[in-house]
Amino acid sequence: MGDSIRQEFVRQRTLRGTVTVCGIGLHSGRKAQMTLRPAAPNNGVVFRRADLADAPDIPARHDFIVDTRLGTTLGNGNARVATVEHLLSALAGTGIDNAWVDLDGPEVPALDGSASAFVLLVEEAGVERQETPRSYIRVLEEVRVEQGRHWAALLPGEGYTLSYRGDFAHPAFARGGQAHEFEFSAGGYVEQISRARTFGFLHEVAAMRRHGLALGGGLHNAVVFDDYRVVNEGGLRYANEPIRHKLLDAVGDLSLLGRPLIGRYRCFGSGHTLNARLMMELMQRSSAWEEVTGVSCAAGASRRPEPAGRLDSLTGLT
């Protein structure tokens, strides 16, 4: 990847050009064409269902989440878009703040089941720096949600780090380890996280398909485990690929806050539902966060963010 993606900027970014891809939805099994287009500053990422007449736009925000069953689904009125997390992860991972996403179907194409193909689409389209400063959400107090033994939390911290600890009773997970921490940067995301594929267990496939899920899934776009090992002929891309994929999902889910985070994400066995609840809890607790603007979110950034509205001291930053 070029410097335009590896560097973190204090200004918003969009795509330089338009790029289109076709693929099958992981759960629906339906073919869809997706086009990514540049968008104006402060537009955010917004989905449009091109196949639905007069369908409303669907902003990529936490308050438009309508389902978190084995993926994150966004909706507005009669329009829905499922399995948005891998695309959103790639856009967040490459620093894209503003984009239009046109879809002629109900689900984002799975492609290879990771975010790497979406990263390549961003590279193909190019990245355009915009003149508007980027805003961030800085975590001020710990926020935590729980579901049984599992939990997810956001804590104050410099930069943006994510840590996942798994809870999978499977020998393959024991061999690869069930924990991973990622210190966020665009280059680090591409190398460490983006290639991690979604995964599932062979004994669950039949039940999932009876419920209309995983209809487009297979060895070409998912890591599949039987009772003892990885079924995929090529094995794993990382020793702990499933754990890294959970972090990939978290990057995508948490991007639904609408602004990048400054803080630490920690969890044990979390998934889309807990991630959604965590965002809701954070936003409802006004004392737990503040909006800041004009700072790089590269790990270890030395400049402290300025509160929103104080841009005069940051005009020289690029």
- Known catalytic residues are 272
Q: Provide the token pair at 217.
A: 């899934």
Residues linked to residue 290 through DSSP beta bridges, in sequence order:
138
CA-CA distance, 142 to 278, in Å (whole number)?
11
Helix, strand or coil, per DSSP, at residue 18: coil
Residue with tokens 């004392």: 287
What is the C-alpha to C-alpha distance for residues 304 and 287, in angstroms, rounded to an integer? 19
User: DSSP letters of 168-236?
Assistant: ---HHHHHH-SEEEEE--HHHHHHHTTTPPPEEEHHHHHHHHHTT-STT-STTTSEEE-SSSB-STT--
Measured CA to CA, the distance from residue 214 to residue 194 in angstroms comes to 21
